[in-house]
Amino acid sequence: MRSLRSRITATMLCVIFAALAFATLLSAIFIRRTESRKSDQLLTMLCETGAMSLDYYFDSVQNSVLKVTSFAENDLSTIEEFNDEQFEEHMKAVRDYFEIMANKTKGVLTYYYRVDPSVSKTVKGFWYIDLDGNGFKEHEVTDITLYDVEDTSNLVWFTIPKYEGRAIWLTPYITDNLDVRVISYDAPVYYNGQFIGVIGIEVDYSTMAKEVDAIQLYNNGYAFLGDAEGNLFYHPHIDVTSLQGSFSIDIPYDNLEDRSLVKYNFEGKEKIAACKPLSNGMCLYVTAPIDETQGEWQGLILNIVLGTVVILIVASLFLMLYTRRITKPLEQLTEAADKVYNGDYDFELTYNEDDELGRLTRSFKSLSDNVKAHISDLNAQVYVDSLTHVKNKGAFTVAVDELQKEIDSASNPEFAIGAFDCDNLKSINDRFGHDKGDIYLKTASRAISDIFKHSPVFRFGGDEFFVILQNEDYQNLNELKEQFDKAADMINKNAINPWDKVFISKGFASYNHVQDKNVDEVIQRADKFMYDNKRERKSGLCNYL
Q: Tell me the per-residue pLDDT of 421-475, one tens digit each, with 9 for 90 and over.
A: 998 888 899 999 999 999 999 999 999 999 999 999 999 888 899 999 999 999 9
User: Which of 1-15, 163-177, 351-365 is predicted with the least confidence, judged by mean pLDDT?
Assistant: 1-15
Q: Please give the pLDDT value at position 214.
A: 86
- Same domain, residue pair 357 and 401: no
Domain boundary among 362, 380, 398: 380
User: Is 165 a domain residue?
Assistant: yes
- Same domain, residue pair 426 and 527: yes
User: Which of 149-153, 171-175, 399-403 is predicted with the least confidence, judged by mean pLDDT?
Assistant: 171-175
Q: How confident is the model at residue 1 (pLDDT cuts 50, 70, 90)?
A: very low
User: Is 520 a domain residue?
Assistant: yes
C-beta of residue 442 within 8 angstroms of C-beta of residue 387: yes
User: Is 27 a domain residue?
Assistant: no
How far CA 407 is from CA of 68, 415, 496, in Å, comes to 39, 11, 46
Residue closest to 79 by CA, chosen among 111, 34, 123: 123
pTM higher than 0.85 for the full model? no
Distance CA 214, CA 217 (A): 10
Other residues' Cβ atoms within 10 Å of the Cβ of residue 114: 22
Distance CA 66, CA 280 (A): 13
- Same domain, residue pair 309 and 440: no
- Same domain, residue pair 527 and 403: yes
Average confidence (pLDDT) over 118-126: 90
- Same domain, residue pair 355 and 409: no
User: Is 230 a domain residue?
Assistant: no
- Same domain, residue pair 180 and 318: no
Q: Please give the pLDDT value at position 170.
A: 85
With helix as H, strand as E and coil as C, how does 190-212 read? EECCEEEEEEEEEEEHHHHHHHH
How far CA 401 is from CA of 321, 404, 407, 520, in Å, comes to 54, 5, 10, 10
Number of domains in the chain: 3
Annotate 340-398 with DSSP letters as a single string.
Answer: HHTT----------SSHHHHHHHHHHHHHHHHHHHHHHHHHHTTB-TTT-SB-HHHHHH
How far CA 104 is from CA of 1, 127, 366, 386, 428, in Å, comes to 92, 17, 18, 17, 36
- Same domain, residue pair 422 and 325: no
User: Is 310 a domain residue?
Assistant: yes
User: Is 32 a domain residue?
Assistant: no
Annotate 461-475 with DSSP letters as a single string.
Answer: ETTEEEEEE-HHHHH
- Same domain, residue pair 390 and 517: yes
Q: Please give the pLDDT value at position 266.
A: 79
- Same domain, residue pair 391 and 373: no
User: Is 65 a domain residue?
Assistant: yes
Domain boundary among 337, 354, 380: 380
Q: Please give the pLDDT value at position 261.
A: 80
- Same domain, residue pair 421 and 321: no
Domain boundary among 185, 202, 219: 202
Give the burial class of 66: count Cβ atoms within 10 A of its Cβ; 0-12 exposed, 13-18 middle, 19 or more buried.
Answer: middle
Distance CA 383, CA 397 (A): 10
- Same domain, residue pair 311 and 368: yes
Residue closest to 75 by CA, chosen among 468, 534, 331, 438: 438
Regarding predicted confidence, which is higher, 161 or 368? 161
Distance CA 527, CA 460 (A): 12
User: Is 265 a domain residue?
Assistant: no
Domain around 422: 384-542
pLDDT digits (tens, 9 = 90+) for 75-106: 998 887 778 888 899 999 999 999 999 998 88
CATH of the domain at 490: 3.30.70.270
Q: Please give the pLDDT value at position 166.
A: 93
- Same domain, residue pair 332 and 480: no
